[in-house]
Amino acid sequence: MSQDIIHSVLLAFHNIALVGCAAAPFYNRNLVTNRGQYGPKLHYELDKVVEDTLQGNAPYCIVFIVTLIITGIGIPLNHYVFAGAFMELHIVAWAAVILKLACVFGMIVIMFIIFFKINPRLREIFAYFILGEQPDSNCEKEFFALRARRKALCDTCLKFAVGVLVFSAFMKFAS
């Protein structure tokens, strides 16, 4: 009974983290796509909202990934604690575990690139922009080039997140 309760709690948090991992890049992509209709010219107030929103989501993404990893480790450990052995998995389930881990690893790599390389540079460039003044064209070009790179990485992250969701469905195959 205790094993089932712990498993259910871990699985609930794991599923919430899975949905969060998919929702964040999905909504970020929508925001960036809608912003794109105004072209690669700075609109200070709009771009400030976009940057504050996208960069403000970073802590949530980190929490979702950490939760996904902790619960992903906790679920098999829970079985081990109560059963004295790890659950035997079907070849399909093993393939799903490996593919799911590859997707999570890909998401982590993308998060590091965005959060520790692209976002700090975007913040630095945006600090040079002043409301009501024409921005330096080189700064503006670099700003929108970095945004395009971030968008492409978020699109890839969304694909990885969908992969995590799909591969999770195949992990219950019995031996």
pTM of the model: 0.87
CB 43 within 8 A of CB 132: no
Residue 86 in this model has a pLDDT that exceeds 90: no
Measured CA to CA in angstroms, residue 143 lies from 3, 96, 127, 137 at distances of: 51, 38, 11, 10
Average pLDDT in the chain: 91
State the pLDDT confidence band at 172, using cuts at 50, 70 and 90. Answer: confident
pLDDT at 82 over 80: yes
pLDDT digits (tens, 9 = 90+) for 59-71: 998 999 999 999 9
pLDDT over 90 for what percent of the chain? Answer: 70
With a cut of 60, say whether residue 126 has pLDDT above it.
Answer: yes
Token output for 127: 């600090």
- Which DSSP symbol is given to 85? S
What pLDDT sits at residue 175? 54
Q: Is 83 exposed, middle or buried (0-12, 13-18, 19+ CB in 10 A)?
A: exposed
Give, in degrees to the nearest 5, the angle at Cα 60 between 56 and 61.
105
Per-residue confidence (pLDDT) for residue 118, from 0 to 100: 97
pLDDT value, residue 64:
93
Residue 133 has pLDDT above 80, yes or no: yes
* Residue in the structure block whose two tokens are 């921005």: 135
pLDDT of residue 21: 85
Quickly state the pLDDT bin for 174 (edges 50, 70, 90): low
Residue 11 tokens, joined: 């699985």
Residues 23-43: what's their mean pLDDT?
Answer: 89
Helix ranges restricted to H, 84-175: 91-113, 119-126, 137-168
